[in-house]
Structure 1
Amino acid sequence: MMRSGLAAGLLLATSSLAVAQDKSPRPSKTNAEAQRDAVEAGYANAPIEEREERSKGSVTVAGKRLPYTATAGTLTLRDLEGKPTASMFYTAYTLDGTKPGTKRPVTFFYNGGPGSPSFWLHMGSFAPVRLQTGNPEFIRPAPYDVAPNPYTLLDKTDMVFLDAIGAGYSRPLGDMKPSAFYGVDEDADAFAKAILRYATKFGRWNSPKFLFGESYGTLRSGALAYQLQDRGMALNGVVLFSSIMNYGYRQPGLDQVYINYLPSYAATAWYHNRLPNRPADVATAVQQAREFATGAYMSALAKGQDISAAERDQVAQRMSELTGLSADFIKRANLRVDLARFQKELLRDQRRVVGRFDSRYMGTDADAAGERPETDVSSDAISGAFIGSFQDYLTHRLGYATEMPYRLSARDAPGWTWNWKHDAPNRGGQQNNPNTAIDLAAAMRANPYLQVLSMNGWYDMATPFFGTENDLGHMMLEPSQRPNLRFAYYPGGHMIYLNPEALVTMKRDLSDWYDRAVAVARSGTPPVTPSVAASEGPVSGPN
């Protein structure tokens, strides 16, 4: 029977009160004692002993049948003395016949949040099964269509989907406080321990190893790539999917966030046909916005309130042509259009708003005159389907049964507070607003074979692609290292894989990239990969 860590916290609080009343010293409880108390109190808790539930499946990729073993289980994290500190839940897919010591690649997937479990990537992207999605519209209620995924990456790599501590079925153990895991560096440390444990337990130290993070998971990947390397695990590759690696530019009063968003506004206005001179493709609209953002727009914002009326009018007019908003609205916003205002304003004459995670989605608010959307329609449209299909799949197809609640976010746990401080390597210093592109750059300099692929959706308004280009473009890599960083763009939002057409292209690009990354490590001579652009200049995927 598995029990919750909440009981341990309540019992420890009661014990502390008793100590305060009688002033007599009492020894602190061990993990085992706290675990036992939780069991006796009737709470469901994560197991200290690692658990595994295995099942068999198969999927056909490019006409070839791939039999695999799915494992839903837990990894026990321990400190240097061997004390268990947390239980991390995972789901792994390994090609049948894979043995310890194999040279077959393995990839570790995770979502972001911070504090999100990995079921979004698990059910939507490259696992052997996938929730079927289509056009940017509300997914109908149950029954949901979960089917074998012909675009799975299983033909290239085994896959391990990891849930952050406090999310899903992952929990602190015994007397460990959530604060030991809820922070930039604390979270990266937990994932590093889990990956090291998985490699040791299943004999994967000699396998090519990859990280695949989405959203805040990309910030984690920057820190994690460096931490793993610092602990003796050199990676072959890192996939940055819908990235946010730098929270510094989001501080109030800074203008970089408006520069970062402008090309995303242009892409969204192009998609919804709101541009007065609409280019033939979204890539052209985006490139026009890029050039304006780093030229006249950046210059205008830098002048602050001292900008001349003539320059303000000129910049507002050009912004209007690029974003579909009126020049008057832009001037009233001081040339600085917040995301929520853009979402509300673009289609206001139609009484519609656009989504944040995916601006292709449209919705309606009760108040069409409001300043910001009442909800994110792109999140509402898919959440029920992803949550419901995963819960059914995990319990009834993978056979993982527990009385614990599956937390949709660690933010739902008592005492949620995230420590945003980050100790960057080398001369990075301590950051109050983390930028782990510094960590990733340090890992790439130390490991000249480390390949990085940045995958971006044109219509992602949560983590705008131009911000990613800016962050990765300031890693200050040497010319010889820059070909190891590559970019790709797709017609989708934050969860690009919702678009099945984009999924086809992404699978092709990832297959080529995995082949390249493995070949680089084996020969030291990277082959040409035409479908994914090198970092010398971002190029577009399909329109």
Structure 2
Amino acid sequence: MKQSYRAGIKLASLLASVSVLGAGMLVAQPAAWAEDAKPAAETAKAKDGAADFFTKPQSVTSTGSVTVHGAHIDYQAVSGTLIVHPKGWDDAVLPDEDKDKKTPAAASIFYVAYFKKGVRPENRPITFIYNGGPGSSTVWLHMGAFGPKKVVTADDAHTPAAPYAIVNNNDSLLDVSDLVFIDAPGTGYGRLTGTDKEKTFFGTDADARAFTDFIAQFLSRYGRYNSPKYLFGESYGTTRSAIVANQLADDKGIDLNGVILLSQILNYDNDIDAAQMNPSVDQPYVLALPSYAATAWYHKRIPNQPSDLKGFLQEVEHFALTDYTAALQDGNSITPEKRDAIAQKLHDYTGLPVDYIKKADLRVNGGEFEKTLLGDKGVDTGRLDSRFSGPTMDQLSQYPFYDPQSSAMSSAYIAAFNDYARNTLHYGNSSVVGDGYQEYKFFSDAITKWDFSHAQPNTDFPIHGAVNVLPDLASAMKHNTSLKVMLNQGYYDLGTPYFEGIYEMRHLPISHDLSKNIQIVQYESGHMVYAHQDSLAQLHDNVAKFITSTYAPLSGK
């Protein structure tokens, strides 16, 4: 994929760099082909059926079982859609279509919910899980992390082509919580309909509102209002979670027990991908440096390679916040001696050539690092998981043209979920859509149309600039002082560097006492922490402990 996302969009996105990988997997017939093959009346009936399918809730129920850490769990799976509407929509008012000639916008949001059998809902937590993008489905967390089935992929190399193994997930969270995997509007088996549909749902606040409405509807439909409730968001999903947590409390009267974040970015001024476009703001370079060091350590590019990764990173973190920050703050007034000393130290920590560091004015952005670290071998490192590497497309380019990690495993996830959805969940073969075939959309084009403006809590207007939802999460924690927050991060994540998340949590506008409600854990993995099997097992154990420690079961249930 081209690197335009680096130059134009300040975004740390789960698999944003591979949002075109699904293209060309199926050969679509020309639009007129199906029309010519059917009588006009049958075609009109099919169109009406499809419209009805995407504007009314759907569901298919199946059953299954999973073994998690030796425990056998029987569950009911519900795959379906719920319909959400734009802000201000009144379900008591019917539109006068003859008057305005418009069809109100709506989004059918696809989900897969897993309910453990034989458990009272009051004592059974429920966790709402989603990926980011913007514009990504949740297939990655579903088939790679916490669903009852998972696809097997290679640890830090390209997974061979099909067939892919779909196996029991020993690390599913079904041992401690019911699970609801939610696909973002315009992805999965959900669709957007009506006038101005993309404008209505493709935006920071519009997207959060849709998820807030979905969760409230789901709790009502399945009688789960009195269950312990959790959000689990990855990447842009962490941005979404901060807003949704606050909106659920403010707009719906719903308090959460916990918010679980994976690969966080809450303040987009900290984004390392486009830091060069924001001169005078040097913080992204400071916060990315420990992840550069971890990557160089993994690929053995550190002079005098240390044996202890964590001890090494503590040293780098200290340097980043002290000498490196001071040097960058000097700007053009930095002395030649100080510039040379800092460049040498950056070489010691990252393995990048001293001359290159000087040419970059001590400021190397994410793409430049990925391109240069192993550039002498004609290899680019991964962005979302820098343990991965792949052949460079153009040795003269400044940035990579693709993400080796995304290329290494996306096909496996896409094939596995298509097989699983149709053959196990029995969803996606509707007779009213696509001549019996319904396409699962792994990505939408939302990122190219996204409205990044955001109205922070207690403000009367949106801010048009880099998104910052730290005030939203802080507001949620202040309204509900028992709300617990857990941040999970991979050392080898160059999309949302781990030290960035630590820095943001340290700068939440909350009291010192409330900051004790935050737990932070790192893993020797990347953005998709669960792509590394040992890290997935640790992630399961840590999240399971977080959930079970943040609610008190009712007695006698």
RMSD: 2.2
Q: Deviation of residue 476 (structure 1)?
A: 2.9
- Structure 2: runs of 5 or more not aligned: 1-30, 32-42, 95-103, 272-276
Q: Deviation of residue 167 (structure 1)?
A: 1.3
CA contact (8 A) 2:123 2:554 kept: no
Tell me: CA distance 1:136–1:428, structure 2 relative to 1, closer, same or farther (3 Å). farther
3-state SS of paired residue (1:470) = helix
Which amino acid in structure 1 is aligned with residue 531 of structure 2?
L
Q: Deviation of residue 469 (structure 1)?
A: 1.2
In 1, Cα distance between equivalents of 2:460 and 2:293: 34
2:485 alignment partner in structure 1: 452
3-state SS of paired residue (1:194) = helix
1:466 alignment partner in structure 2: 499
CA contact (8 A) 1:351 1:364 kept: yes
2:191 alignment partner in structure 1: 171
Q: Deviation of residue 217 (structure 1)?
A: 0.4
1:335 alignment partner in structure 2: 362
1:122 alignment partner in structure 2: 142
2:74 alignment partner in structure 1: 67
Is 2:476 the counterpart of 1:443? yes
> Superposed, which structure 2 residues align to 1:16-415 within 5 Å?
40=47, 46-78=53-85, 79-82=89-92, 85-98=106-119, 101-175=121-195, 177-230=197-250, 231-250=252-271, 252-253=278-279, 254-400=281-427, 401-402=429-430, 403=434, 404-411=438-445
In 2, Cα distance between equivalents of 1:69 and 1:164: 23
The farther-off stretch of 400-409 and 450-459 is 400-409
Tell me: CA distance 1:176–1:141, structure 2 relative to 1, closer, same or farther (3 Å). same
Which amino acid in structure 1 is aligned with residue 133 of structure 2?
G
Q: 1:421 aligns with which of 444, 453, 466?
A: 453
Tell me: CA distance 1:466–1:522, structure 2 relative to 1, closer, same or farther (3 Å). farther
CA contact (8 A) 1:133 1:500 kept: no
Count the aligned residue pairs: 485
1:430 alignment partner in structure 2: 462
Q: Deviation of residue 43 (structure 1)?
A: 6.2
Partner deviation per Cα, 1:137-174 (whole Å, 9 max, x = no partner): 11111111111111111011000011111112222233
Partner deviation per Cα, 1:71-114 (whole Å, 9 max, x = no partner): 11011224333568221100011101245x53310000111000
CA contact (8 A) 2:134 2:446 kept: no
CA contact (8 A) 1:165 1:172 kept: yes
Is 2:492 the counterpart of 1:492? no
The farther-off stretch of 398-407 and 375-384 is 398-407
In 2, Cα distance between equivalents of 1:270 and 1:154: 36
Partner deviation per Cα, 1:403-460 (whole Å, 9 max, x = no partner): 33222222179xx511101000136963222111210011001101111000000001
Which amino acid in structure 2 is aligned with residue 393 of structure 1?
Y
In 2, Cα distance between equivalents of 1:104 and 1:376: 39
Report the TM-score, using the length of structure 1 for normalisation: 0.85
Which amino acid in structure 2 is aligned with residue 81 of structure 1?
D
Q: Deviation of residue 45 (structure 1)?
A: 7.0
CA contact (8 A) 2:68 2:172 kept: yes
CA contact (8 A) 1:183 1:420 kept: yes
Tell me: CA distance 1:420–1:276, structure 2 relative to 1, closer, same or farther (3 Å). same
In 1, Cα distance between equivalents of 2:63 and 2:554: 32
In 2, Cα distance between equivalents of 1:355 and 1:160: 30
Q: Deviation of residue 59 (structure 1)?
A: 0.8
CA contact (8 A) 1:88 1:165 kept: yes
CA contact (8 A) 1:214 1:241 kept: yes
Partner deviation per Cα, 1:32-81 (whole Å, 9 max, x = no partner): xxxx9895489677532211111111111222210001111011224333
1:6 alignment partner in structure 2: none
In 2, Cα distance between equivalents of 1:265 and 1:39: 54
- Structure 1: runs of 5 or more not aligned: 1-9, 11-35, 524-543
Report the TM-score, using the length of structure 2 for normalisation: 0.83
3-state SS of paired residue (1:54) = strand
Q: 1:502 aligns with which of 531, 535, 543?
A: 535
CA contact (8 A) 1:107 1:157 kept: yes
In 2, Cα distance between equivalents of 1:55 and 1:37: 31
Q: Deviation of residue 516 (structure 1)?
A: 1.4
Which amino acid in structure 1 is aligned with residue 314 of structure 2?
Q
Tell me: CA distance 1:384–1:412, structure 2 relative to 1, closer, same or farther (3 Å). farther
3-state SS of paired residue (1:89) = strand
In 2, Cα distance between equivalents of 1:417 and 1:280: 46
